[in-house]
């Protein structure tokens, strides 16, 4: 993902506002939404596009144009019912990636069941760090395994479609190791390096964090 993507943040508490501000500071197009007008008023100085709306209402989703957003971050962990409704509606209108702030493991299971693509525990990942990971070009998800090594999920680029991992030599060119391939939500770790890649695939790779910049 990158600043070329469009983002929406639901919930302008401390976490949601931190995510939105970091995305805006890096030039991303961000729509911030909160049901509380005072929260919207507090955020408008640092987040240019803020709206007061109830994101559990289908008509509001249409009015806000959420179907045109690439990534939605649902940062309303204190309200499980509203968060579940927001995730469900986002998926119904075709949002590709929905990330949800979560309060506990039980809520995580619920969010994944209703379609969330990623669940974040705020005590483990700050809003600023989440925004940084989202802005890393081409990465659908990033997990730091150590200070130097990360595991990331990257989209198959247009120029890679129809070519095999053997032909692309990604390890030599980018110093990355492909450990799995995701297609239609299914992860396959038994990789045949001779099989051509498809546009619908994502590659899960392990690489030196500093050298990931080569993929931009």
Are the CB atoms for 112 and 96 separated by under 8 Å? no
Q: Where are the domains of the chain?
A: 6-134, 139-215
pLDDT tens-digit readout, 73-102:
999 877 889 999 999 999 999 999 999 998
Find residue 201's DSSP bridge partners: 183
Rounded to the nearest integer, the mean pLDDT of the chain is 85
Q: Measuring CA to CA, which residue among 2, 9, 137 is closest to residue 66?
A: 9
- Quickly count helices (H) and strands (E) in the chain: 8, 11
Greatest Cα pair distance in the chain: 57
Residues of the chain with confidence (pLDDT) below 50: 1, 137
Structure tokens at 132: 């940084």
Whole-number pLDDT of residue 90: 96
What is residue 129's predicted lDDT score, i.e. its pLDDT? 65
Specify the fold of 6-134: Rossmann fold (3.40.50)
- What is the reported pLDDT for 133? 65
pLDDT digits (tens, 9 = 90+) for 116-140: 998 888 755 566 666 666 665 455 5
Helical segments of the chain, H only: 14-25, 37-43, 58-64, 80-92, 105-113, 127-134, 165-168, 170-174
| 14: DSSP letter | H
45/109 Cα distance (integer angstroms):
36
Directed axis angle between helix 14-25 and helix 127-134, to 10°?
Answer: 40
Q: What is the pLDDT of residue 1?
A: 44
Fold of 139-215: Alpha-Beta Plaits (3.30.70)
């Amino acid at each position: 993902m990158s600043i070329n993507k469009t983002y929406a943040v639901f919930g302008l508490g401390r976490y949601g506002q931190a995510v939105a501000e970091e995305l805006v500071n890096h030039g991303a197009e961000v729509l911030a939404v909160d049901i509380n007008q005072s929260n919207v008023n507090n955020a408008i100085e640092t987040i240019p596009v803020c709206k007061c709306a109830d994101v559990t209402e289908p008509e509001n989703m249409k009015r806000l144009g959420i179907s045109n957003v690439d990534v939605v971050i649902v940062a309303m962990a204190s309200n499980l019912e509203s968060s579940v409704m927001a995730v469900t509606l986002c998926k119904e209108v075709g949002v590709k990636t929905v990330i949800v702030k979560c309060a506990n493991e039980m809520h995580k299971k619920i969010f994944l069941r209703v379609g969330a693509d990623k669940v974040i525990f705020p005590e483990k990942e700050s809003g600023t760090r989440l925004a940084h990971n989202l802005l890393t070009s081409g990465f659908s998800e990033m997990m730091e395994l150590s200070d130097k090594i990360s595991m990331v999920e990257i989209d198959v680029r247009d120029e890679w479609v129809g070519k095999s991992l053997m032909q692309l030599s990604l390890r030599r060119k980018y110093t990355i190791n492909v450990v799995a391939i995701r297609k239609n939500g299914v992860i396959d770790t038994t990789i045949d390096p001779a099989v051509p890649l498809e546009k619908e695939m994502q590659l899960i790779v392990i690489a030196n964090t500093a050298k990931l910049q080569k993929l931009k």
